[in-house]
Structure 1
């Protein structure tokens, strides 16, 4: 340790200012090689009566300006100070300043270092907060004790929380919540299935009654046809009126009503697969007009001017994007179009019905047609044929490329409409949109793709 102290004393002479006799503070080096504190040299030159010169060798520098700070010498000074502090922690160098040879009686609050009386007079510590060691030590000892008690308190709290929030405990709570949700959904499913059974029973009774009425009318018509002319004429008008009345009830009896069975959390789950798509104006015909933002399409005057629309007249626009994997969900606002068509289009696909069918390029469509007594929903292909009293303002479309299915949802009611399943896609598919045909005498409205961050509820729709 004595050798370390001797070596330290030798090095200290290289990092000590010969003006203030302390460690360098912002050292500057003159052209002659001697170094001083920047502030010390500046004060020396201000007090000098002759030309600027080196305080040690008296050589006059070429310039009267202060040299820049010698960064390397400053770093060396910091290293010597740090080494000096470490030596001071030893048994011999612990209580005496190696620079001034005096006992440490003071403590610098800013630099956190012990000082002797000589150190306090140096520019480095002159403006710092300094207190006697006998006062500083008890103060810091009390702060350390307070911090220790605080750490012990937080340590005990952390141990308690760690025991409560262990992975096993937290996993069990999450599993219980999922089980609760599953049980609630199962209860909702049982209630919904029972409601469907009751409605099917009512519908079956209605169809049975309708069939029996038709059978009776058929027999009466046959009997009337075999009567004499006068008898036939007396009952013919009444029989015809009864027959017409029964036939007018055919739609109600035969075509089922599209019931709304809300499924809790359905739309929230589908929104996980929400995609942002736009329309491709290049795919539109002259009967359609796509908006500038590529999110809306409506019928043009060309389509309005058509007086006789054949069933084969179909004008649609495709989406800009196509899909060839994963799951995708989008929503379409159809509140301004009483008649519309939604679905997907692909050039190549195979249907699974017992055995694969030949490839085809037909789209898969959900079709809404407005009639006097409501809205009729059909599908292409397959055989959906339902009716609804009120319009559906927003339709959700959910595509699963594999295993291959396409579903439609009533977003407002959180209910299911229809599903194409067992589709074997072999090429990319594109969403398809048709806002018509427009009703005669009405102004066509837009069919609009809903933004991915938009949500619909009953209050929102009622305010539209």
Structure 2
């Protein structure tokens, strides 16, 4: 078969392969954005709307099953027949389609089979080549390693799906926010239905992830039993598919942070607003505190953080004020900071528990971490590890000493970010701040304590994106 024909067949195979399961389409359906998938690969819940697994565009309302794409189904069957004819051809399996010579070598850079003449072409001349007999055992070891990784991920996903309750009790946290309002009629607006739908969608994603992992593991097992040439011919597609499945798994297991606005919440919290100043004597060497004691930024020589629960390794500054009773609320502007940490600090005390001494945590915090193009929120202590849809410009912190409450809020959206599990305070606590670590090659931005009369709304935030700091501060 001519090289052009082989290339055309490969292009056809790409068009008739489901981007979720990486197999030929089975009962293909096409959604509103134009992408096609196997009907069984799409989420099974009757969601009022859903996003495309490939482009993430919200497609359409799903009130009834999607219709099978008949033309795509016919094209898939035709592609299967053509592929089968090629595979049944000894020439197609064992000889180079371009030079009609035996495929004796394997290109480790491109993961493709080559003949002697292919190795001398400009495309492959500088690449690493090895005989088929040497490459096949190495590839089998790589596939076996992938198989063990997939089995581990499969068991982890299975445990998550079988968990009787989610890792975070969003119902409990949101209910407590509405109780704070002392207006029970607001429960009519509480978004429990949306939270439940999101949890169902989460289970659908995990179920689909399990099916995809299982299918891939079976295909890897089959590949290990193939002849050397057949194995090396298919290995590039298997490795690409494995990489895609593992990257999708990471996104499926790290959920996005829920945004549940609570009307009037920030206004109510402002009743407990306190004026806070930074304590220069408590500043880490790599931080610079402004003269007005209202802002701090990263300086030079920021070391790498290691143990998040050990304040000896944290680079932070504390507030002058310490709290041992009552309720306090303060807001911090983190606009322009891709990474930051906010929370409270208390002296590390030893507590008697069951006849043995235990160390209480000395820090309780929420931090934002940037990884490539994504932002993640993590808590210590606690189980929060969620992705952000977009950076948070201002964070509010609410402290209630008697009940051991420490909650974090997205001020712009008037929504709860996270409330740390019940804390038992045994000593005065001080607010703590850390504007980093800064990203390499960027100019550190300041972390600013907001004034008592400072309030953030949508128009203020949009102004901050298009003006300098002085104009923004004057506006709000």
TM-score by length of 1: 0.57
Shift of 1:424: 1.1
CA distance in 2, matches of 1:430, 1:463: 32
Alpha carbons 2:305, 2:314 under 8 Å: kept? no
Indicate whether 1:231 and 2:193 are aligned: no
Q: State the partner residue of 1:446.
A: 446
The within-5 A match list for 1:163-312 is: 182=183, 184-189=185-190, 192-303=191-302, 310=306
Structure 1's 389 and 374: CA in aligned 2 closer, same or farther, altered over 3 A? farther
The alignment partner of 1:423 has SS state of coil
- Look up the match of 1:124: none
2:406 match: 406
Describe the shift of the 1:228–1:311 C-alpha distance in structure 2 as closer, same or farther (beyond 3 A): farther
How many residues of Structure 1 are paired with residues of Structure 2 in the alignment?
Answer: 281
CA distance in 2, matches of 1:373, 1:391: 11
Partner of 1:435: 435
Is the contact made by 1:396 and 1:410 (CA closer than 8 Å) also made in structure 2? Answer: yes
* 2:382/2:421 contact within 8 Å kept: no
Shift, 1:301, TM fit = 2.0
Within 5 Å, give how 1:358-369 maps onto structure 2: 358-369=358-369
- Equivalent runs, 1:32-431 vs 2, <5 Å: 182=183, 184-189=185-190, 192-303=191-302, 310=306, 314-348=314-348, 358-431=358-431
Alpha carbons 1:324, 1:427 under 8 Å: kept? yes
Extract structure 1 runs of 4+ deviating beyond 4 A. Answer: 308-313, 348-351, 353-357
CA distance in 2 between counterparts of 1:375 and 1:242 reads: 26
Aligned to 1:26: none
Distance 2:338 2:354 in 1: 37
Q: Distance in 1 between matches of 2:357 and 2:292?
A: 39
- Residue by residue, what CA displacement relative to the aligned partner does 1:351-395 show, whole Å, maximum 9, x if unpaired? 9x9999834243011010012332101111122110012100000
CA shift in 2, pair 1:227/1:198, >3 Å: same
Deviation string 1:288-342 (CA, Å, 9 cap, x unpaired) is: 0000010100001222xx6x66566531001111000011110000002110000
For 1:366, what is the secondary structure of its paired residue? strand
Contact 1:373-1:389 within 8 A present in 2 as well: no
CA distance in 2: counterparts of 1:269 and 1:234, whole angstroms: 65
Q: Return the TM-score normalized by structure 2.
A: 0.56
Closer, same or farther: CA 371–438 of 1 in aligned 2, 3 Å: same
Q: Unmatched 5+ residue regions in structure 2? A: 1-178, 465-476
Distance change (3 Å), C-alpha of 1:381 and 1:309: closer
